[in-house]
């Protein structure tokens, strides 16, 4: 088949490809216009995502995971069919398969940009909350790190523990305690208000671990999908992190901060402990980069139960280290950077500034 005949046969697909490229062009041009992004997020993308998440919420599984599974399986079946047809007198079959797959993937990406990418260019959590971090001094970081360590130590006994002294709240119980998780923050930050949605356990949790992920928010269905294979101690604060995304907090560092704040103020013992411990890790890691001895001393001062939880978590993730996880981190870093998040995966540590601003007044006292 000639190129002209191929184009005539697949005219609709080619028009779909051109339209998708044009839609991306509109996004790339509009993303630098803050009022347009604020309007789109508030009036279009957030209402659409909340509507889609309401449809997906009753399902006991992640609709996003199921959709990706069907997409991959369907693409492979059609690829086998295209190969067979190519070997039996229809050489254009493979090209047609590639063209239609490209159109589908392009429009999926357009949907991701429209329903999620735009949020990176709208008003941030810090702007809405009126938080302006001028910079963090070492003495502030040291004091707030010690404060978080003390809080984690103080509530370490409030959660059940196994024979090895490790956190022993079941995943099922953690997933069942998400209702009202953000209620304590709404008076101060009413823009975090949103409909209650369930957290979905990921069927492919081990695959997520291999790629280095603890959870994600699906931009097309608005579902929070959680890795339930990794240690339970950080599952509560991970849920709170994904719920922050669900409520419009795009940047990872800000979702970390909002998730920690929601957890420690929730009144739910597992979430409170998880939140203080997560915040301590971010702070102590940042402290280690500037004052290694102070960070080590802070870690040594933690009670044995807290250090047991940290050791279990570190051992789990060490078991998944390797090229697959490195690739996953690189891919996600590239995804973040494509939306102007220049810190990439490093942005997960940037919540330290917000934590220091929030807790320095009480930590120094």
Residues 103 and 158 in one domain: no
CA dihedral over 37, 42, 47, 49, signed as positive or negative: positive
My answer on whether 200 and 341 are in the same domain is: yes
Mean pLDDT value of segment 102-131? 95
User: Which tens digit of pLDDT belongs to each residue from 140-165?
Assistant: 999 999 999 999 999 999 999 999 99
Report how many domains make up the chain.
2
| Residue 236 and residue 150 in one domain | yes
pLDDT band at 84 (very low <50, low <70, confident <90, very high): very high
Q: Are residues 115 and 144 in the same domain?
A: no
The lowest-confidence range among 17-31, 36-50, 232-246, 281-295 is 281-295
Of the residues 86, 121, 156, the one at which a domain ends: 121
Q: Are residues 165 and 239 in the same domain?
A: yes
* pLDDT at position 332 over 50: no
Q: Please check the confidence at residue 341 and state whether its pLDDT lies above 60.
A: no
Q: In this structure, what are the phi and psi dihedrals at residue 215, rounded to the nearest 5 degrees?
A: 175, 170
**At which of 67, 90, 121 does a domain end?**
121
336: pLDDT strictly greater than 70: no
User: Of residues 265 and 252, which shows the higher confidence score?
Assistant: 265
- pLDDT above 90 covers a percentage of the chain that reads 80
Measured distance CA(172)–CA(161) in Å, rounded: 16
Neighbouring residues of 114: CB distance < 8 A, sequence distance ≥ 6: 23, 27, 40, 44, 45
Helices (runs of H) and strands (runs of E) counted in the chain: 17, 3
Q: Which pLDDT belongs to residue 365?
A: 67
Same domain, 189 and 166: yes
CA 194 to chain centre: 17
With a cut of 70, say whether residue 229 has pLDDT above it. yes
Of 66, 87, 121, the residue at which a domain comes to its end is 121
Let me know whether 222 and 271 are in one domain.
yes
**Rounded distance, CA 171 to CA 226, Å?**
10
Residues 215 and 302 in one domain: yes
- CA-CA-CA-CA torsion sign (204, 206, 207, 213): positive
Q: How confident is the model at residue 364 (pLDDT cuts 50, 70, 90)?
A: confident
User: Do 52 and 193 sit in the same domain of this protein?
Assistant: no
Tokens 């789990």 locate to: 316
For residues 291 and 138, the answer to whether their CB atoms sit within 8 Å is yes
CA separation, residue 101 to residues 15, 21, 67, 77, 170 (Å) = 14, 14, 15, 12, 41
Q: Determine phi and psi for 131, rounding to 5 degrees.
A: -100, 125
pLDDT, residue 344, reads 44
Range 307-327 average pLDDT: 85
The verdict on 52 and 145 lying in the same domain is no
What is each CA distance from 188 to 134, 213, 236, 262, 350, in whole angstroms? Answer: 21, 30, 22, 12, 22
Could you tell me the two tokens for 318?
């060490």
> CB burial class (10 A; 0-12, 13-18, 19+) of residue 121?
buried
Q: What pLDDT, on the 0 to 100 scale, is given for residue 348?
A: 36
pLDDT digits (tens, 9 = 90+) for 276-294: 999 999 999 999 988 999 9
In the chain, the percentage of residues whose pLDDT exceeds 70 is: 92
pLDDT at residue 345 in the model: 38
Of the candidates 302, 354, 254, the residue with the CA atom closest to the CA atom of residue 148? 302
pLDDT category of residue 349 using cuts at 50, 70 and 90: low
pLDDT band for 324, please (50, 70, 90 cuts). low
Q: Quickly tell me which residue has 């103020």 as its tokens.
A: 265
Span 203-212, pLDDT tens digits: 999 999 998 8
Domain carrying residue 144: 125-363
* Global pTM value: 0.90
Domain identity same for 180 and 115: no
pLDDT in tens, 45-73: 999 999 999 999 999 999 999 999 999 99
Q: Which region among 62-76, 84-98, 164-178, 345-359 has the lowest average model confidence (pLDDT)?
A: 345-359
Residue 80: alpha-carbon gap to chain centroid: 34
82 and 130 both lie in a single domain? no
Give pLDDT tens digits for 237-247: 999 999 999 99
- Nearest residue to 336 (alpha-carbon basis) of 322, 324, 350: 350
pLDDT at 347: 35
Q: How confident is the model at residue 351 (pLDDT cuts 50, 70, 90)?
A: confident
């Amino acid at each position: 088949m000639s190129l002209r005949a191929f184009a005539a046969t697949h005219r609709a697909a080619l028009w779909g490809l051109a339209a998708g490229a044009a839609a991306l062009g509109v996004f790339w041009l509009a993303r630098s216009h803050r009022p347009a992004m604020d309007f789109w997020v508030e009036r279009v993308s957030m209402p659409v995502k909340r509507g889609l998440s309401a449809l997906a919420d009753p399902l006991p599984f992640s609709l996003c995971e199921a959709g990706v599974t069907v997409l991959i399986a369907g693409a492979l079946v059609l690829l086998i069919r295209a190969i067979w047809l190519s070997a039996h007198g229809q050489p254009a079959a493979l090209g047609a398969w590639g063209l239609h797959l490209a159109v589908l993937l392009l429009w999926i990406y357009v949907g991701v940009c429209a329903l999620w990418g735009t949020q990176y260019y709208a008003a941030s959590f810090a702007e809405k909350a009126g938080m302006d971090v001028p910079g963090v001094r070492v003495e502030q970081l040291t004091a707030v790190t010690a404060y978080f360590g003390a809080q984690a130590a103080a509530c370490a006994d409030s959660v059940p523990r196994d024979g090895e002294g490790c956190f022993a709240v079941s995943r099922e119980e953690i997933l069942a305690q998400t209702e009202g998780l953000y209620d304590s923050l709404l008076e101060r930050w009413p823009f975090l208000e949103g409909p209650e949605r369930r957290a979905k356990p990921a069927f492919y949790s081990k695959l997520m671990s291999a790629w280095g992920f603890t959870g994600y928010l699906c931009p097309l269905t608005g579902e929070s999908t959680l890795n339930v294979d990794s240690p339970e101690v950080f599952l509560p604060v991970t849920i709170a992190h994904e719920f922050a995304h669900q409520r419009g907090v795009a940047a990872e560092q800000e979702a970390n901060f909002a998730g920690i704040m929601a957890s420690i103020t929730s009144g739910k013992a597992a979430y409170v402990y998880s939140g203080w411990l997560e915040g301590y890790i971010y702070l102590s890691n940042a402290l280690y980069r500037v004052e290694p001895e102070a960070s080590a001393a802070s870690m040594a001062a933690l009670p044995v139960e807290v250090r047991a939880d940290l050791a279990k978590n570190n051992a789990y993730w060490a078991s998944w280290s390797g090229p697959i996880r490195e690739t996953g981190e690189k891919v996600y870093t590239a995804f973040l950077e494509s939306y102007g998040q220049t810190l990439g995966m490093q942005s997960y540590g940037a919540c330290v500034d917000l934590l220091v601003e929030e807790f320095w007044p009480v930590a120094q006292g």
